[in-house]
Amino acid sequence: MPDITMPKMGFDMQEGTIVRWLKQPGDEVRRGEPIAEIETDKVTIEIEAFAAGTLTEIVVREGQTAPVNAVIARLAGDDGAAVSAPQSATPAMIAPATTPVAPVQALPEVAPATAGDTDVKASPLARRLARDNQVDLRQVHGTGPAGRIVKEDVEAYLAARGAAPPPVIPAPVSPPPAPVSPPPMPVSPPPAAPVAAAGAPAVVPTPPPAAAPVSHSVVPLTNMRKTITRRMSQSWQQAPHIFVSLDVDMGAALAIRAQANEGRAREEQFSLNDMVLKASAAALMSFPHLNASYGDEGIILHPAVHISIAVALDGGLMAPVITNCQDRSLGAIARETKRVVALAREGKITPDLLQGGTFTVSNLGMYGITEFTSIITPPQAASLAVGAVRRVPAFKDETDEVVARHTMTMTLSADHRVTDGAEVARFLGAVRQLLEQPLALLVG
């Protein structure tokens, strides 16, 4: 019978973890039907069957990790005969029938999903959260598109149910030291009694009770968190960071955004962050060293601007890429941003949407953060951190009159091997000019 192998979902993918099997041994499988959810170091995604038949064996169980091309399951035809692998299949997708099962790294067992959960529409993140907390998804009300259950629905169910806290693992505690007898203490003899001999036994005090064991919980690292740890550590250790901040008057941008979005459908509206993306792309065309990478043979200048946008997810961070921002209109950038962010949050994003970024924009303004610095995503040379728009007192036109101004702080992190502080300052000045005179962003 043919082998179903761990697919290679990206150029640098080395292994994948089975999050959930959508089919069980004995189940019929149609060609192109999702059979499992796998987690790579970047995404959680469904994999499909390459042929119709019956799933006969699951080799790699839920929660286990296997390298690329390792056998994870086996499939047979409807009559029990082996299904021939398609001739056009690449080695990355189908392993030969005689390929032995590759050893897999065993991870802690996870609670299996109930049979009814398979028919419930739910995002991969919601299924994982439900499985980790023994939640029957049939009892959860979905608020996503077409009643799909999303992560927030499971969290609301857990809050209403009063989910038990995760078990704690007691840390090993060293045994208390053996009590040591103190030196003999001088004792006053009673009247008319002889002095005690020098070798008389001393009184040993009762030892104090042992300290209570200290408890803590351990959260296993996901593949995504391992990748974030590795790449951010690499960037911080290898790239000398410089940080430059600049305040922007966002009054005109707020006004023109409100005017332009009036009467538009929600999916056609653009945000202040979309305006930052458009302004950054336009400015980068004049500052190629900030749209670059450091290489062993020199500085690599990228002709197109592909902006990675940081998206916070459960257990990590993902940065889908908006390609060719220098050629996109503000509306096109807004539509593409909505699309890739939705894919990332629903666990449907594909690896090709996470590759090729040349510059990063990270915005924490929605959390009320006014200013922060970001670590550069390798091999990029710069990352722009955007804070919240806030009302601050300011002098009007260099007079003594104080007015309220809508201010936003931008901080650029740059690789000092590729650029210098003066160039970073000029770039931020160009972005500020575009945001303070935003009409060019609408017509550009």
Cite the active site residues: 416
Angle between helices 421-436 and 272-284 (to 10 degrees): 130
H or E stretch at 129 = helix 124-132
Nearest to 330 by CA among 443, 248, 182: 443
Contact 311, 344 (CB under 8 A): yes
Q: Is 153 helix (H, G, I), strand (E, B) or coil?
A: helix
Q: Please give the Cα distance from 355 to 385 (Å, whole number).
A: 20
Q: Please give the Cα distance from 349 to 83 (Å, whole number).
A: 30
Q: How far is CA 238 from the centre of its chain?
A: 22
Q: Which positions ≥6 away from 364 have C-beta within 8 Å?
A: 372, 385, 386, 387, 388
Q: Strand 28-29 to strand 44-48: parallel, antiparallel, or no bridges (unpaired)?
A: unpaired
Contact 408, 383 (CB under 8 A): no
Q: Please give the Cα distance from 150 to 159 (Å, whole number).
A: 15
Contact 52, 30 (CB under 8 A): yes
Q: Which positions ≥6 away from 105 have C-beta within 8 Å?
A: 15, 64, 65, 66
DSSP string, 415-444: ETTT--HHHHHHHHHHHHHHHHSTHHHHH-
DSSP string, 260-290: HHTT--GGG---HHHHHHHHHHHHHTT-GGG
How crowded is the C-beta side of 78, counted as CA atoms within 13 Å?
A: 6
Q: Which DSSP category does 397 fall into?
A: T
H or E stretch at 224 = helix 223-238
Q: Is 283 helix (H, G, I), strand (E, B) or coil?
A: helix
Find tokens 């593409």 and name the residue. Answer: 336
Sign of CA dihedral 74, 78, 84, 85: negative
Q: Please give the Cα distance from 66 to 61 (Å, whole number).
A: 10
